[in-house]
Structure 1
Amino acid sequence: MGTAIATDGNQWAHYMTSLRASGRFDGGSSIGTGAVFRKGRANTAAPTVVSGFLRVRAENVDAARAFLVGNPVYEAGGTVEIRELPRT
């Protein structure tokens, strides 16, 4: 993965500006390291590194894919997950 691109502050600023301009950005945050807890078992480090999340409003997962364009991690060849949240 092109780490320099994925962590470039200017790339992120440009991407975040485009998300805000879409009118569908609902926030996000970086996320620190984690641990997995199971009753009766030893605690272990979280197996997957999740560096943060962005929340956008989209009709479905396919519509959310449009927000991948310009994402520095995605553009650098990294992995970006799209998850649907329950509707309230």
Structure 2
Amino acid sequence: MADFIFLMHDTPHQTSDKTAGWPAYLDGLARGGHLRGGSAIGSGAAFRKDGAASSITAHLTGFIRVEAESLVTAQTLLAGNPVYEAGGTVEIRELPETD
């Protein structure tokens, strides 16, 4: 099994309420043994030790960490995701194991 992170994008053309459906969706991921955590992402800032940092990635609004067999399996877990179902973008990235 591998860990993946779903990054929810704030997509202007989403067709419905972005907040509806989260409890049922997250409960389904938990019941299926896939949910490993997540949160909304609020405002913040970017920092560098030397020099000016670029601005934060403002279109990211939240993340969910899941466990799945593969990227293809992780993609099937998008069913019911309120952002995805509203026509928004959810980016899936694998979280590689590190020593």
TM-score of the pair, normalised by structure 2: 0.73
Whole-Å Cα distance in 1 between the matches of residues 39 and 57 of structure 2? 20
* Matched pairs, number: 84
Whole-Å Cα distance in 1 between the matches of residues 57 and 37 of structure 2? 25
- Name the residue aligned to 2:37: 27
3-state SS of paired residue (2:23): helix
Quick check: which one's strand share is greater? Answer: 2
Query: More relative contact order in 1 or in 2 (CA 8 Å, sep 6+)?
Result: 2
Sort the Cα spacing of 1:33 and 1:3 in 2 relative to 1 into closer, same or farther, 3 A: farther
| Residue 2 of structure 1, aligned match among 12, 15, 23 | 15
Whole-Å Cα distance in 2 between the matches of residues 48 and 81 of structure 1? 14
- Name the residue aligned to 2:4: none
The answer on whether the counterparts of 1:26 and 1:56 sit within 8 Å (CA) in structure 2 is: yes
Segments of structure 1 that go 5 or more residues without pairing to the other structure are: none
- Name the residue aligned to 1:40: 51
TM-score of the pair, normalised by structure 1: 0.81
3-state SS of paired residue (1:62): helix
| Residue 62 of structure 1, aligned match among 57, 72, 78 | 72
% of aligned pairs identical? 49
**72-81 or 24-33: which moved more?**
24-33
| Residue 49 of structure 1, aligned match among 59, 64, 67 | 59
**How far is the alpha carbon of 1:27 from its aligned partner?**
0.9
Which amino acid is 2:55 matched to?
Answer: A
